[in-house]
Amino acid sequence: MIKHLAIIMDGNRRWAKKNALSYSIGYREGGTAAIRKSLEFALKNGIKFLSLYTFSLENFKRPEEEKDFIFESLMVEGPKQLPYLQEHNIRMCFIGDRTKFPERVIPTITTLEESTKNNSALQLNILFCYGAQQELVSAVKEIVRKVKIGELSEDAISESTIADNLWTRGIPDPELIIRTSGAQRLSNFLLFQAAYSEIFFIKCLWPEITERDLQAALDSYLGVQRNFGV
């Protein structure tokens, strides 16, 4: 069984358009029902880490109205999920460039993280204000800083050094990455961590995801012989 499942949740706006609905309903369906399905699937299958690509640094280019809705939804809906998180022993962590977190959502993020920090059945990673290229740049800068002050030797730098300075430090690399909507790209998602991940593309849009879709991806992973180049 896998330890870490990561999902690129793509297709909220297209689902809304396809069903002649507002984009806000698309985000609401993707942000509540679909996420709950993925959480239940992870718990059922003993997966310890679930990472969801929620808001990328590139998403800041979207219209102000859309961004405001996403941030407001986090502030309103996030605390409503606390009873479920506590009942199911789920820890919630936000991963991304914290200097870019909108100031108004920080109290909500802090509450969700602090309230669930002792939960241990599943760690839900919300990749928020996240970009893999930017994460690597941040790691390089931190490594350079440590070399300059003598905390780290240049000769001691290795793959694990980079991993230890990423925003995801302490989290195992995902064995399986799922992307919905039919698009077949990573879109600046966990580029370093995905070096040996199996990637499964699903045609359905994110709000349409079912347990059967998730199970098909997991079954596909379990049928692959992973030799890591050996």
Report if residue 151 sits inside a domain: no
In a domain, 142, yes or no: no
Q: Is 148 exposed, middle or buried (0-12, 13-18, 19+ CB in 10 A)?
A: exposed
pLDDT at residue 19, as a whole number:
73
pLDDT digits (tens, 9 = 90+) for 142-191: 999 999 999 999 999 999 999 999 999 999 999 999 999 999 999 999 99
- Active-site residue, from 19, 59, 119, 188: 59
Decide if pLDDT at 91 tops 60.
yes
What pLDDT is recorded for position 159? 97
Per-residue confidence at 11, pLDDT binned at 50, 70, 90? Answer: confident
Note whether residue 191 is domain-resident. yes
What pLDDT does 151 receive? 96
pLDDT value for 216? 96
Q: Which domain holds residue 36?
A: 4-131+171-222
Whether the predicted pLDDT of 26 surpasses 60 = no
Active-site residue 227, yes or no?
no
Q: How much helix, strand and coil, in percent to the nearest 5, is found in the chain?
A: 50, 15, 35
Q: How many CA atoms lie within 13 A of 130 on its CB side?
A: 24
Tell me whether residue 59 is in a domain: yes
How far, in Å, CA of 169 to CA of 164, rounded?
Answer: 5
pLDDT digits over 108-133, tens only? 999 999 999 999 999 999 999 999 99
Is 227 part of any domain? no
CA distance 41 to 230: 32
Task: Give me the mean pLDDT over the 200-216 stretch.
Answer: 95
Would you call 68 a catalytic residue per the annotation? no
- Rounded CA-CA distance 166/192 in Å is 9
Q: What is the pLDDT of residues 33-76, one digit of tens each?
A: 899 999 999 999 999 999 999 999 999 999 999 899 899 999 99
Is 49 a domain residue? yes
In a domain, 139, yes or no: no
Please report which confidence band the pLDDT of residue 227 belongs to, taking 50, 70 and 90 as the band edges: low
Number of folded domains in the chain?
1
User: CB-side exposure of 101: number of CA atoms within 13 Å?
Assistant: 19
- Which pLDDT value is given to residue 16? 75
| Residue 195 confidence class, pLDDT cut points 50, 70, 90 | very high
DSSP 8-class letter at 132: H
Residue 154 domain flag:
no
CATH of the domain at 95: 3.40.1180.10
Angle at alpha carbon of residue 32, lines to 95 and 76, rounded to 5°: 75
Q: Active-site residue among 10, 125, 165, 173?
A: 10
The pTM for the full model equals 0.93
Residue 155 tokens read as: 């000769």
